[in-house]
Every structure is written in structure tokens, then in C-alpha cells.
Amino acid sequence: MFSDKLIEERKNNPDSEFYYYRFFAEWLWNKITKFGKDHKLRWCLRDNIYEFDIVAGYKHKKTDKYTLFSIEVKMNNFPKLLSQAWIRHSWFDYCYIAFPKNANDFASMIYHFGKEFNFLKEHSLGVLLYDDIKENVEQILAATKSKKHKPWKKYKQKIINKLWDLDIQPEPIVVGPSILDFIPELKAKKEDLQQ
């Protein structure tokens, strides 16, 4: 996990993935604000052992449901990028992998993208590419809605709680009658102690 200090130092360095977060985040913001209401976007969202590069979502206008998006960004190591996105895909409705054209190992990233294209398409993962010359984000492969996250619903709710700063209180614990309540002498002693 990266500290806030390290992220701050690297966000202005074009050799760091943090530098590109703002471009991919802007692309995602422009995409999601066309739908729903109460839009949220954060980067470097942490949850225990996981760190999510870019996370966004919106609340549906007529229901109490949320749609979540994730973008995982890397400068190199496409297999790790794909692995992280695959895990995140369980928690989010739409998941993208992203890398810039000036990535440290762009040739390898493109090679692995071509090699994994069918997997990405089959499993609804989208691919974004940042073009430094044109200064824009290109959607190479559109993400489609994940059907994978059903068993991971509690994790999706954790992300919703973090994004919207929801303070979900656990349901109160209802304590049933005690065995002491059925023995008259002990019930009287219990009542005396409570007073």
C-alpha cells in the first residue's frame, strides 16, 4: 500500500501511474455523470488489504441502488494489472484496466492485451489507454456489467459505504430472556442488582 505522502510525491511524475489517475478519473467522471444522481469519485481508496486505484459510482434516480465503477492503472506488469482488475470485478458493476501509451513497458502491455483480448471481452473487463500526444483517454474495449459480484455483495456494500461516507449502524442486538428469569429467587436477585 502506498502512503499519502508517496502518492503526493509521485502524482506529478509522468513515470508514475499516479500521474495518470487524474486523466482516467476525468474520463470516468464524464461518463458516469450522464446517469443517476449523487455521483462520487475517489482515488487510492483503501479497504483493509486492498487499495483501489480509481473508484466511482452513482445512485439510481428512482431506487435505492448504486452502480459502481473501478479503474486499475499500471505502467507495466500487465498480468498483475489483469489479476487486480479480476479481483475488483467481483466488487464493482463495471471494471476497467488502464495504462498510458508512454508506459515503461508499453510493447509488453500491448502484447499481453492482445493475448488476453478474448478473456477481457468474455469477462466484461474494459480497457482504457491514455494518449500523451492527443492528451485524451481512449476506450479500447468497453466494460459491460459484471455478473460476477453476486456472492461478493457485502464487499460491494463496503465500497458504497466508503464512497458515500455512509455510517451504517449494525442492527441492535436483542437479548432474549435469561435463564435467571425463570427461577423466582434468582430473578429477584437479578432485579436487585440492576437497581
- Provide mean pLDDT across the span 95-103: 88
Which is more confident, 110 or 176? 110
For residue 48, what pLDDT band results from cuts at 50, 70 and 90?
A: low
> Is pLDDT above 70 for 193?
no
Place of cell 442492527: 171
Is it the case that residue 64 has pLDDT exceeding 90? no
Q: Where are the domains of the chain?
A: 4-194
First to last CA, the chain: 51
Give the cell for residue 184: 423466582
Q: Across-strand partners of 70?
A: 55, 95
Is 53's pLDDT higher than 80? yes
Percentage of the chain with pLDDT > 70? 75
Q: What is the share, in percent, of the chain residues with pLDDT greater than 90?
A: 23
Contact (CB, 8 A) for 89 and 148: yes
